[in-house]
Chain A
Amino acid sequence: MTSSEISDVAYACDIPAERPWSRVLTKGQTLRIIDSEGQQAVDALLYCADDPAERYSSQDTLRVQGSAYVELGTRLISNKGRVMARITADSCGRHDTSAGCCSCESNAVRFGEATRYQHACRENFILELSKHGLTKRDIVSNLNFFMNAPIDPSGQFTVVDGISAPGNYVDVTADMDVLFVISNCPQVNNPCNGFNPTPIRAVVRDMSGL
């Protein structure tokens, strides 16, 4: 980070590999998610802090944007059609919001029964959401920062090697008070984490994006 960014840091922490995290961002605060070692997918859910029934919606976000990937300038839209946050800086270039989060159950379908008993993002989300009175019902569509999952014109979908380099970051600036929930993705069965989950860093600044 540059010195100008250090000056207004309100909060910073490293999120270990495979672990969840959550924090309320107040309106105007910016969360920087840093892919510390590169090629690490970061699954994220957003809820309106005042009324968690209002939450991030991938389909609303893509409909409003008219295109399939999250990138610099993307407005993150709620299930009530409001802007919850926006992407205000991005040194990676493209993020997914159509692939959902990994779960023990979907891993078993995708990669075989033997992968059912591996830690997964939905386990993280369920535990982290329980701190806020929310349940599996509340896990809807999520963001996958630093995940490279192109969809081609025929509809073919692939999770390919992550394009994020060590230190790449994405800034999310809150347009309302939002509960921001992260699962630092534990997936070891596809290239979203380079088959090797690693730590990430979360930094919250009071200034809005650059």
Chain B
Amino acid sequence: MAETKPDIAEANRRRYEELRAAGQNLTPKGLPEPTALDGAPIVPDALIHHEQVPAGWYATVRLRRGEALRILDECGRSSVSLIGWREEDTSERINCADTVKVQWSAALSKGRVILSDMGRVLLSLVEDTSGAHDLLVGGSTPSSTLAAFGAATRNTRENFLAAAAKIGLCIRDIPPCVTFFAPVSLDDAGRFLWNPLRKRPGDFVDLRAEMNLVVVASNCAHPLDPARPVATGPVTLIKHRVPPPRDNDLCRTASPEAARAFAFTDRLYA
């Protein structure tokens, strides 16, 4: 069938509006409630590794596909910035922009995913007590800590540089990051707001690796957190085994877009 250019444009617009209606109405309504603070205990058999990261420091964690990383903010005052690469090809990495636009939302919560730049799923949020995370503003830097405290303190930018260097990567490999337990929102004018009431002691996320990954978690106060720098405490990282996803897996079925991203990811391992 011969289609004219306006016909194609009209068909593309129709498809866009259909995807938008689903992505902004149906999908958010289907997302689960946040995990309860005591809602997802890790049984001893599932534990692989457990470590505490002091305030201001970072840890590099290798995750096999199907393993999960719990990030636990026991004191309720910390924020954790995270980047990650695909282990076999580190040119594939976290992509915050695609994570936002594919899911029609800058808000991450249980049931959402974090994407790589190659249209694949890096991490799934299989448990999340918080739902208050930042994809837009990024972590602290030498200049942000200088502006906030009058002195350069330990910061996420330098933590990422150090962590990258230790696996043979450099500043070119550091993409925009996601920050967990960083309740950033926007007002109607687009200005960023910090919502301190959305932070609680014991908040955690469970991130299921959908590829073999190297991730870096930096435990530094978010640059918008007005309680910094005294605010932060240690965070706990728990690497553990989670059950293999079933056909009705929350993250795999959250939206048509997520289903496609998982299908493309599965092809790597088919």
| Residues on A facing B (Cβ under 8 Å) | 53-54, 57-60, 62-63, 66-69, 79, 81, 98-101, 103-106, 108-113, 135-141, 149-159, 188-191, 194-196
| Residues on B facing A (Cβ under 8 Å) | 5, 8-10, 12-13, 15-16, 19-20, 24, 91, 95-98, 100-102, 104-107, 115, 117-120, 135-139, 141-144, 157, 170-177, 185-192, 223-224, 257, 260-261, 264
Would A53 and B117 be within 8 Å (CB), given that A66-B191, A109-B261, A188-B12 are in contact?
Answer: no
Q: List 23 A-B contacts (CB under 8 A).
A: A62-B136, A63-B137, A63-B224, A79-B171, A81-B141, A98-B135, A99-B100, A99-B101, A105-B120, A106-B95, A106-B101, A106-B117, A108-B119, A109-B119, A110-B19, A111-B16, A139-B117, A155-B185, A156-B104, A156-B106, A188-B9, A189-B15, A195-B13
* Chain A neighbourhood of B171, CB < 8 A: 53-54, 79
Asked if A159 and B101 make an inter-chain contact with CB atoms under 8 angstroms apart, the answer reads yes
Q: How many A-B residue pairs have CB under 8 A?
A: 159
Q: Select B106's contact among A105, A136, A139, A155, beta carbons within 8 Å.
A: A155
Asked if B175 and A189 make an inter-chain contact with CB atoms under 8 angstroms apart, the answer reads no
Asked if A196 and B9 make an inter-chain contact with CB atoms under 8 angstroms apart, the answer reads yes
Asked if A195 and B136 make an inter-chain contact with CB atoms under 8 angstroms apart, the answer reads no
CA distance A150 to B97 in the complex (A): 13
Give, as a whole number of angstroms, the nearest-CB distance from A38 to chain B.
Answer: 15
* Chain A neighbourhood of B16, CB < 8 A: 111, 189-191
Asked if B264 and A108 make an inter-chain contact with CB atoms under 8 angstroms apart, the answer reads yes
* Chain B neighbourhood of A195, CB < 8 A: 9-10, 12-13
Asked if A140 and B175 make an inter-chain contact with CB atoms under 8 angstroms apart, the answer reads yes
Asked if B177 and A59 make an inter-chain contact with CB atoms under 8 angstroms apart, the answer reads yes
Interface contacts beyond A63-B138, A98-B97, A109-B261: sample of 8 additional A-B pairs, CB < 8 Å, sorted by A: A59-B139, A62-B136, A67-B191, A105-B119, A154-B107, A155-B107, A156-B104, A156-B106
Asked if B9 and A63 make an inter-chain contact with CB atoms under 8 angstroms apart, the answer reads no
Asked if A105 and B264 make an inter-chain contact with CB atoms under 8 angstroms apart, the answer reads yes
Asked if B192 and A66 make an inter-chain contact with CB atoms under 8 angstroms apart, the answer reads yes
